[in-house]
Structure 1
Amino acid sequence: MSIATKLRAHLARKQIDFYVAPHRRTTDAMSSAEASHISPDCLAKAVVVRASDGYFLAVLPASQRISWSRLNALLGEPCFMATEKELDQLFEDCAHGAIPAIGECYGLDVVVEASICDPPDVYLEGGDHTTLVRVSQAQFAQLSENARLAHFAAALE
């Protein structure tokens, strides 16, 4: 499958230089970081969240988890993780559960955990379970220019 069609078109439209980093098949962000020999702090994982007015994408380092209390306080309402069926409908060009951390190309608002802005390069899911996309921090900032930047993550337990 490689890079999802919508993601590839969005990167081209934004004139983003990127590197494709293939890895063995994995099923979660931490395993993808390990398989790619990168720090999980550099891998931007995407979690689709449902709120009262629809869906949005929460982007955070693979080394962290969502603090639901912080995210709820940030949004001013309770929010929940989207169901598997909802994910498949929103990301039709992606393998099941392989969600790129760029919401704009899928029509989703985005909230980005501020700590993902620290590493010089950021990796993100390419839309399958065997491909990561590497972009520079400046390019990730460009791709996330309409996102809300906040602190809503906590360390993995």
Structure 2
Amino acid sequence: MTAERAAAALDAAGIDYETTRHGPAGSLAEAAALRGVEPGDLIKTLVLRRAADDYVLVLVPGDRVISWPRLREFLGVSRMSMPDAEVARDVTGYERGTITPFGTLTRLPVVADVRVAEPRRRVSIGGGDHGVGATLDTQDLIRAVDARVADVTDPP
């Protein structure tokens, strides 16, 4: 049911996307291969807590990790944390590993790493259910979720 909610939100945004359904993946690299993209083109949608009941989504290339100091500076906060899986599900309506910025229960602000926003590039994001991805153009993604773009990741 959550994949349908994500697809409905993508459709409502008028985005050209392709849904990929695959079996379980044991790693990000395996999921990327199953979706036909490089690991850096599989985008993780992470839920982060800025303060009590104040959350933000961060779009991170699969081959990178959050730079906590740069992200905190960009958002103007001194502390941030990653909520547990249950809270992330309650905030977004999606389980970890399936989270997408489309169709969340509450519209959340989105920060996209600069690498996600590179023009003329197609990436795969979570599709709302395990083994489901949506592949779309980066510019459509950034525009549709009104993402703020900043350099907020580092190599692993």
TM-score norm. by structure 2 comes to 0.85
Secondary structure at the residue paired with 1:122?
Answer: strand
Query: 1:102-154 CA distances to partner (integer Å, 9 max, x unpaired)?
Result: 4777411011001112262121010112111011233223223x221100101
The equivalent residue for 1:115 is: 115
Are residues 46 and 21 of structure 1, via their aligned partners in 2, closer, same or farther at CA, if it must alter by over 3 Å? same
| Cα shift at 1:83 | 1.3
Q: 1:67, 1:152 within 8 Å by CA — same for their partners in 2? A: yes
Q: 2:15, 2:140 within 8 Å by CA — same for their partners in 1? A: yes
Partner amino acid, structure 1, of 2:74: L
- Distance, in Å, in 1 between the alignment partners of 2:28 and 2:4 is 17
Identity among equivalent positions (%) equals 24
Secondary structure at the residue paired with 1:3?
Answer: helix
Q: What are the equivalent positions in structure 2 for 1:48-127 lying under 5 Å apart? A: 48-52=47-51, 54-77=54-77, 78-92=79-93, 94-102=94-102, 106-118=106-118, 120-127=121-128
Q: 1:2, 1:131 within 8 Å by CA — same for their partners in 2? A: no
TM-score norm. by structure 1 comes to 0.85
Unpaired runs of 5+ in structure 2?
none
Unpaired runs of 5+ in structure 1?
none
Query: 1:71-96 CA distances to partner (integer Å, 9 max, x unpaired)?
Result: 1121222111121121121233x345
Bigger mean CA deviation after superposition, 99-108 or 53-62 = 99-108
